[in-house]
Every structure is written in C-alpha cells, then in structure tokens.
Amino acid sequence: MTTPPFTGSIDFKLAIGAFDVRVLRQARLTYAYVPAWSYYDVRSGTERSGEFQLEVSLSILALPRSDRSRTSDIPTKRYWAPLGQLLTIGILSTRVHHQLRCRVDAEARDADRRHRLHVGWPAPDLPEQI
C-alpha cells in the first residue's frame, strides 16, 4: 500500500465519566488520509485523485499523578495510552465521528492548499472567501 498523502494528528479534550466521577484528559487522534477529491501529490509533483481511505488511532494522555490512590506499580510519568477501540461504531456518537472526519478533511484541504501554493499552482479559495 502506498503512503497516504495526508498524515497528522489532532489534539482535543475528552471527558470521561464513571460512578459520578468525571475526568478531563487530552486526547490525540493520529490519522493517515487519502481523500476522494483531487490533490497535489508532493512526492510525484502531480495532481492525483485517490480512493477514500482514513486510518485513525486514538491515544489519551494518562496522568498517574492526578490519581491520589495510586500504588507503586502505576507509572508516575505522563504517557500516551492507546484507546483506539473507543472509535468502534456505537461507542461515540455518529456526530462525533462526523466531526472527526470533517476535522481531518479540513486539515488535509489546508495542507493541499499550502502544497499547491508552494509550487506555484493555483489553489482553491479558503472557505471564508467563498
């Protein structure tokens, strides 16, 4: 499989609640994206159109020191804990998945615009200019 043209990460806050206790954590969505629209391919220097593909993984910044009841076997440093299965259909709402795809697509469009301008190609207007 070829490397997807758009890769990156999006940080956001994730609230998790259980037993009347709520914690707020930093979450990081890492993506590799092939859009269904035509894009400037940096590697080949040509315009390409691909078939839609979006690979995402999700991590949460664990804060062991925030847990007062910690024991010695819990890591004391912050670390990114994988939580990809949270993206399984039915756990988060359809609206969250929709927003996630929109954010990734918007970042890819921004990157594509920068790539086109960098090589002197015409670029689509920013959404605010339409």
Partner 1 sequence: MALTLGVKIGEVVDIAEHWVAVLSIDTRDSATLISNEGRKIEVSARGMTEMVPEVWIGLGPDATRSRLRLVFEAPRNIPITRRHD
Residues that bind partner 1 (CB under 8 A): 1, 36, 51-58, 84-85, 87-90, 94, 97-98
Hey, what are 82's tokens? Answer: 């994988």
Taking the complex as a whole, the smallest distance from the CB of residue 46 to partner 1 amounts, in Å, to 19
Closest approach of partner 1 to the CB of residue 36, in Å: 6
Q: Which residues contact 69 (CB under 8 A, 6 or more apart)?
A: none
Cα–Cα distance, 101 to 65 (Å, whole number): 33
Give bridge partners of residue 39 from the DSSP assignment: 48
Q: How far is the CB of 93 from partner 1 (least distance, A)?
A: 11
Distance of alpha carbon 1 from alpha carbon 42, whole angstroms: 17
Nearer to partner 1, 52 or 121 (CB): 52
Closer to partner 1 by CB, 12 or 121: give it: 12
